[in-house]
Structure 1
Amino acid sequence: MPTHHPSDAEHAADVPALLARIQARQARIGILGLGYVGLPLALTAARAGFSVLGFDINPSYVARLNGGESTIKHIPSSLVAEAVIAHRLEATTDFSRLDEPDALLICVPTPLTKYREPDLSYVKTTARAIAARLRPGQLIVLESTTYPGTTDEVLRPLFEATGLTSGKDFFLAFSPEREDPGNPDFATSTIPKVIGGDGPDALALANSLYSEFVATTVPVSSTATAEAVKLTENIFRAVNIALVNELKVVYSAMGIDIWEVIEAAKTKPFGFMPFYPGPGLGGHCIPIDPFYLTWKAREFDITTRFIELAGEINTHMPYYVVDRLAGAVDERGVPFSRAAILILGVAYKKNVDDMRESPSLKLIELIEARGARVDYHDPHVPELPPTRKHAPLAGRRSIPLTPEILRTYDAVLIATDHDAVDYRSVVENAALVIDTRNACAKAGIVSSRVIKA
């Protein structure tokens, strides 16, 4: 917190002047957190002509970015170098510089605790750092996914404890990130941006800022509404994925291929939207966001039964997959407790190096808990990074995928369907393939050694 409280004379932000600076692209943008959300946002703003100051606590990330090197595999280093060379992007670990930007965009993680309660520690730590340097005329936007009310109930009191007032001296907004890492069809600049402001001036400023580098903005009535929009999007996906995961289990028992069912069902031109089953949920959003609303709903004595049931189904999927794997290995006469298993793909989705909440980590732990030995291959993840939930797995390295190596395993489990994998070679050389992504069928491969799970 600052050591002084500004007087009224120091207050009174000049809204027209800040708006003019934004529209002339002369306003400086500060982005806090240079990960999967913050870095694409920083590059998008820089390419639009803004000067961007990126803040991160990782000195290695900061050094690499300032050297023109990307820290995320699916983002080319050429884009980072272009922004750095043009003096449009600078990264720093020095949070005392937070008073330099005109707009501060918060892009830090919002995980769950082990009790499935919101962990706002990163948001609060970041907000306190901003409060310590907060000056009149700054626009602050939270992009991190959270429960409705966070911006108003958590951030605003922290900032107003400085003596400045939201809507008068500084401006507060919420605009949820909508990144889809590795998706070639949608970039930060082309995904519509939902924006809610704490008052009309905050909304106008935030809307004007994003309009300069995002094709479409979607203003809503409040920050809480914008927060609810993000949760609704991901709850919709979580519930529908849970539905097809449950159908997968039911149809498998009936000898029906869920993938074939979905392919046929999606030919209906109305009333059906395809979702696909998998070995469990991954990524920062879908496994986590629904529980932010579940937690907040308790404040109003409401039980979110539908959301919690979907969570239970999706959380159970790794257990179902391992049961299928163990049963198939046992049927071949190999005791699962002495089996050697190769997992293909540890990223949470295809063609990226993103490990956040990857179900593959849970699969490894469950398989090893039964006594089997596990290795993995992932062309995008050469080494398992440290994670809060699966710390003992950190440091394991991807093994080469050769015919000789494939033949040494009792089963290969396809957990992530990366395009770079030669699935025909996998099927030809593996004793058994457990396919959780329908990767073999999509590659046109039919074999009695492939079991879908």
Structure 2
Amino acid sequence: MEDLLEKIENGRATVGVIGLGYVGLPLAAVFHRSGLKVRGYDVDERKVAMLSEGKSYIKHIGVDVLKDLSDSVRFQATTKLEDLLGVDIYVMCLPTPLGAHEEPDMSYVFGTSELIAKQLTGNQLFVLESTTYPGATDSDVLRILTKGNQLELGTDLFLAFSPERENPAGSGDEAVETSIIPKLVGGVDESSGVLAAALYRCGGFKNVVKVKSARIAECSKLLENSFRVVNIALVNELKLVFEKMDVDIWEVLDAAETKPFGFKRFNPGPGVGGHCIPIDPFYLTWKAKEVGQRSEFIEISGRVNASMPSRIVDKVQLALNDVGKAVKGSKVMLIGIAYKPNVDDCRESPALKIWELLLDLQAAISYHDSFIPKVPKTRTHKRLEGVESVPVSEENLSQQDAVVIVTDHDNIEYDIFQRVRCPVIDTRNRLRGLKGINVVLA
């Protein structure tokens, strides 16, 4: 342990980052900026090629950051896991999606861990950043990493969990650079925790918080995201309730926000998306069932949020009916298909679910999203793959029977909707205050 700790503290350690996506790439950049040697691994040949050329494939990560990496002898991107042989530290940032029945799908993490286990040489630290259920690190990952070799935890192998806390394209109070976000670490044993804390502290993070165990760190991540899921579900449900009472939820939120204590604002919307919020809480509910405890509050919240896309489609139907049109055959343009404003990521986006539901009703759908010029390959929306964005122009808008604002990117000129004659279904309250629009709040 002491030798590895000294290498970390002296900046001589080599870090292998597994997965160079929205979590792994910013992390690799922070490590590199601190002076560490970094080898990044990803199965996507396109990503590795772009990194080698100093080009960004994630919109909110600037070209200057990528140029620093590509020009440096301390950084290497590769599609070959064996190129990480001999690194001092492995940091895994791979997807942990849900299976068909909302059960954890740990295949990426477990499968890659099995491969890494075969090339461990001893005196190495392995850190899991991928969100998982409590106990995955100290039971399943540890078992995989030590299977078939003679490595012992705390002597030859050190293992920790450190939850990723990325906020892509955050704005206002949420706009925080990766290295400034407090970095939580929990070791499977004390030595592992000490080494992991040293890695992030010496690796460029301003505030490293070491907790007693990997399970505490795992549970903290699940609590953080469950908190958001539950509160988003609350305002989504209250929106429906207040609507029946002819009360505007947005005005209620403005009023409630005047209270300087005991209230945190969450806004309603068309549902939740991204690689964390719609998924992570179900890792907790799955584990809760395994230990004989139901987490009904989280389960109900998940159902409420999952129902919102169909509620939006109901609004589209009603808006079209009000102008004497059926959904079948109507032209509907979706504005924004990313899961949140100002990002180029549509994973689990409610916009895609709304799109699919409208297609099922035989509407003709187009979309505009400058952040996502073409719908990428997804796990669950295969018939949308390859469709290209169209401009938000007066000509295109004039041909629509309805427009739905799903994701309100800041680079859209919303004044143009004042010249639209068809119904505009606004799921984000973005058109508030604009005059002369046939707006339907949804």
Could you say what the CA RMSD is over the residues aligned between the two structures, in angstroms?
1.0
The equivalent of 1:221 in structure 2 is 212
1:206 to 2:192 alignment = no
Within 1, Cα distance between the matches of 2:365 and 2:110?
Answer: 39
1:271 maps to 262
Q: Structure 2 unaligned segments of length 5 or more: list them.
A: none
Q: 1:108 matched to which residue of 2?
A: 94
Decide whether the 8 Å contact of 1:135 with 1:170 is kept in 2: no
* Residue 35 of structure 1, aligned match among 16, 21, 43: 21
Task: Give the conservation status (yes or no) of the 8 Å contact 2:339–2:349.
Answer: yes
For residue 273 of structure 2, what is the aligned residue in structure 1?
282
Corresponding residue for 1:404? 395
Question: By how many angstroms is 1:21 displaced?
Answer: 1.0
SS in 1 for 2:180: coil
Q: Which moved more, 1:172-181 or 1:297-306?
A: 297-306
Q: 2:369 aligns with which of 373, 378, 382?
A: 378
Aligned to 1:183: 170
Distance 2:386 2:315 in 1: 28
2:80 counterpart of 1:90: no
The equivalences for 1:62-73 within 5 A come to: 62-73=48-59
Contact 1:411 1:433 in 2 (8 A): yes
Report the counterpart of residue 10 of structure 1 in structure 2: none
What is aligned with 2:353? 362
Q: How many Å separate the matches in 1 of 2:120 and 2:18?
A: 14
Cα deviations by residue, 1:212-234 (Å, 9 ceiling, x for unpaired): 21111111111111100000000
Q: SS in structure 2 opposite 1:189?
A: helix
Q: 1:186-217: CA deviations, max 9, x gaps? A: 11100001110011110000000101211111
TM-score (norm 2): 0.97
Match of 2:294 in 1: 303
Residues 98 and 130, structure 1, Cα contact 8 Å, conserved in 2: no
CA distance in structure 1 between the partners assigned to 2:61 and 2:334 by the alignment: 26
Q: What letter is aligned with 2:179?
A: S
1:164 match? 151
Letter in 1 for 2:402: A
How does 1:5-24 map onto structure 2 within 5 Å? Answer: 15-24=1-10
Partner SS, residue 271 of structure 2: coil
- Report the AA paired with residue 197 of structure 2: N
Query: What letter corresponds to residue 170 of structure 2 in structure 1?
Result: N
The answer to whether the 8 A contact 1:322-1:367 is kept is yes
Choose 391-400 or 97-106, whichever is displaced more: 97-106
What's the counterpart of residue 344 of structure 2? 353
Distance 2:331 2:65 in 1: 42
Question: Following superposition of structure 1 onto structure 2, how do residues 51-62 of structure 1 map, counting pairs within 5 Å?
Answer: 51-62=37-48
Q: TM-score, normalised by structure 1?
A: 0.95
Tell me if the contact between 1:319 and 1:366 (Cα under 8 Å) persists in the aligned partners: yes
Cα offset, 1:334, TM superposition: 1.0
2:57 & 2:116 partners in 1: Cα distance? 25
Q: Distance in 1 between matches of 2:334 and 2:389?
A: 10
Task: Supply the distance in 2 between the matched residues of 1:87 and 1:267 (Cα, whole angstroms).
Answer: 53
- Aligned residue in 2 for 1:446: 435
SS in 1 for 2:292: coil
Residue 131 (1) aligns with residue 117 (2): yes
Aligned-pair CA distance for 1:448: 4.9
Distance 2:277 2:134 in 1: 17
Contact 2:159 2:192 in 1 (8 A): yes
Q: For residue 169 of structure 1, what is the amino acid of its counterpart?
A: D
Partner of 1:118: 104
Q: What SS does structure 2 have at the residue aligned with 1:29?
A: strand
Name 1:5's counterpart in structure 2. Answer: none
CA displacement at 1:430 relative to structure 2: 4.3
Query: Which residues of 2 match residues 247-266 of structure 1 at below 5 A?
Result: 247-266=238-257
Aligned residue identity for 1:37: V
2:337/2:351 contact within 8 Å kept: yes
Instruction: Give yes or no for contact 1:412–1:430 (8 Å, CA) kept in 2.
Output: no
Q: What whole-Å deviation, never above 9, does each CA across 1:371-424 have from its counterpart, x for those lacking one?
A: 111110001110000100111110000011110110100110000000111111
Larger CA deviation: 96-105 vs 280-289: 96-105
- Is the aligned partner of 1:197 residue 2:187? yes
In structure 2, distance between residues paired with 1:204 and 1:152 = 16
CA distance in 1, matches of 2:390, 2:273: 22
Equivalent position amino acid for 2:96 in 1? T
Give 1:164's aligned amino acid: L
Asked whether 1:390 is paired with 2:390, we answer: no
Looking at structure 1, the residues matched to 394 and 75 of structure 2 have their Cα atoms a distance apart, in angstroms, of 45
**Offset of 1:78 from its aligned partner?**
1.6
| Structure 2 contact 339–348 (Cα < 8 Å) conserved | yes
Whole-angstrom distance in 1 between the partners of 2:138 and 2:418: 54
Structure 1: runs of 5+ lacking an equivalent: 1-14
Structure 1 segments, 4+ long, off by >6 Å, are none
Q: Deviations over 1:48-83 (max 9, x none)?
A: 111110000011111110111112111112211112
8 Å CA contact 1:42, 1:52 repeated in 2 = yes
Q: Secondary structure of 1:338's match?
A: coil
Asked if 1 retains the 8 angstrom alpha-carbon contact of 2:86 and 2:121, the reply is: no
**Once the 2 structures are TM-superposed, how far is the Cα of residue 239 of structure 1 from its aligned partner?**
0.2
Residue 446 (structure 1) shift: 3.5
- Measure the CA separation in 1 of the matches of 2:61 and 2:156: 37
Match of 1:81 in 2: 67
Alpha-carbon distance, 1:429 to partner? 2.2
